[in-house]
Structure 1
Amino acid sequence: MSVVQRVDDALKEGLGRGPLSGSRIPVTFDTPGSEWSARRSGPCVNVFLHSVEEDAQRTQTGRIGVVDEEGTVIGYRRPPRYFVLSYLVTVWAQTVADEHRLLGRLLEWCAVTEELALPQDGFGPQPDRLGLRVRATGGESSETPASRVWSSLGTPARPGLDLVVTVPLEREPIGTGPAPVHGLALRTGRLPARPEDDPAPRSARPRRRVEEVR
């Protein structure tokens, strides 16, 4: 399962436990084009992923030490890379009043929810939390990412939340060294003597000549 699929699952689970708790309103990730809206039946919350970008300001260079349970550095890894997934969250219901009521509940949930747990799939290093926020306005410009979505889809604009999800992607360790030494064992033993190392018999040793000097 890709990281985008896991983010989708985390959002669907978070919305189901939060503002949609106790209701049967489904969460869809379809493209909200004119054909989709014409086929839609019943209320729903649409979460449309419209852009994926890297947050270069948060991505760092260099290396980070990888330590074991005893605090020993056993290798190094590069810092994670941060990616921003932008979702346009809209409500589709029978009346405008119902849409605004549910949209308000979604806004309140987003205002108090800064993180979501990301489900793990067991393959490689994975992030376990992701950041969650509503995109801030970019000054006085009338064009926003959400407005560009509606114009590109050819669909009349409708109110929605531009939800920004930040995902850190860990990278594999590099330069992993050998396992650290946890102890040292010293053993002694007797080595067999070599024939050339055997001392010569005392009788076979040459005698020194000693003279008395007067």
Structure 2
Amino acid sequence: MNIVQRVDDTFEKELRQGPLRGVNAQIVFETPNSDWAARRSGLCVNLFLHSVEEDVAQRQSGETSIIDENGVVVGYTPPARFFKLGYALTVWGHSPRDEHLLFGTLLEWCVATEQLTPQSSKPTSPLTLKLRETPEGSEPMAMKLWPSLGTPARPVLDLLVTIPVSKPGTKVETEPIRSVTLRARTMEPPAPEDTPFRPPRPRGTARPRRRVEEIA
């Protein structure tokens, strides 16, 4: 399962267990253009993925040790890279009143929810969720979204989900050291040297003078 599928499935699970519990509404991830809007029927929540970008502020360098259940280093893995997925959440219903009622519930849920927990058999890191803020002086995302899709404007929540993406690690090439064995053996005494043994001079005795002959 790729990262986009993970986020889509997590979104659907969290919405079904949260604000859409007991609500007869579809959850779709289609492009809400004019053709789709014309074919739509019934109450619907649309999560349109409109952007993917890396969060370079969280990029790290170096490697992390991979340790097995015995505490032995068996490999190394580079740090994960984080990507931000932008979703446009909209509500489609039979009347504006139905849409506003559900849209308000979803807005409150988005404000109160900071993390999404993926459904997996293995322990995984939670995904961060927040409403994207429009920088001062910039055009809101909705002002650019609807004209490009040819759809009449409607309220939209610009959601931002951050997900870590890990690179494959490298295994330790040599077998890890699991035990150390020490062996001892008797050493033979060193052989005597060929030079004659000279006993040490007693302390206080003068060194014998060498005979020096003067050469004329």
TM-score (normalizing by structure 1): 0.78
Give the corresponding residue for 2:210: none
Give the corresponding residue for 1:63: 63
Q: 1:117-154 deviations in whole A, cap 9, x for unaligned?
A: 223488xxx9542111111121132x123322212112
Give the corresponding residue for 1:89: 89
Give the corresponding residue for 1:27: 27
In structure 2, give the amino acid aligned to 1:134. L
CA contact (8 A) 1:120 1:128 kept: no
Q: CA deviation at 1:187?
A: 7.7
TM-score (normalizing by structure 2): 0.77
CA RMSD of aligned residues (A): 2.3
Q: Which residue, out of 160, 163, 174, partners 2:159?
A: 163
Q: CA deviation at 1:13?
A: 0.8
Write out aligned runs for 1:12-161 (5 A): 12-120=12-120, 127-141=124-138, 143-161=139-157
Name the count of aligned residue pairs: 185
Quick one: distance in 2 between partners of 1:178 and 1:109? 51
CA contact (8 A) 1:119 1:128 kept: no
CA contact (8 A) 1:114 1:133 kept: yes
Quick one: distance in 1 between partners of 2:171 and 2:182? 31
Write out aligned runs for 1:6-17 (5 A): 6-17=6-17
In structure 2, give the amino acid aligned to 1:15. L
Q: CA deviation at 1:81?
A: 0.6
CA contact (8 A) 2:27 2:45 kept: yes
Bigger shift: residues 174-183 or 49-58: 174-183
Identity, in percent, stands at 47
Quick one: distance in 2 between partners of 1:175 and 1:146? 47
SS at match of 2:41: coil
Q: CA deviation at 1:176?
A: 2.5
In structure 1, give the amino acid aligned to 2:19. P
Bigger shift: residues 170-179 or 37-46: 170-179
User: Which structure's CA Rg is the greater one?
Assistant: 2
Quick one: distance in 1 between partners of 2:116 and 2:175? 36
Quick one: distance in 1 between partners of 2:63 and 2:141? 35
Quick one: distance in 2 between partners of 1:71 and 1:184? 16
SS at match of 2:11: helix
Quick one: distance in 2 between partners of 1:13 and 1:5? 12
Quick one: distance in 2 between partners of 1:147 and 1:61? 38
Q: 1:75-127 deviations in whole A, cap 9, x for unaligned?
A: 321110111110000001112121111111101111111111223488xxx95
In structure 2, give the amino acid aligned to 1:184. V
CA contact (8 A) 2:24 2:43 kept: no
SS at match of 1:57: helix
Q: 1:15-43 deviations in whole A, cap 9, x for unaligned?
A: 11111001121101111011111111111
Runs of 5+ unmatched residues, structure 2: 185-216
Q: 1:170-214 deviations in whole A, cap 9, x for unaligned?
A: 1111362434322234689xxxxxxxxxxxxxxxxxxxxxxxxxx
SS at match of 1:52: strand
SS at match of 2:56: coil
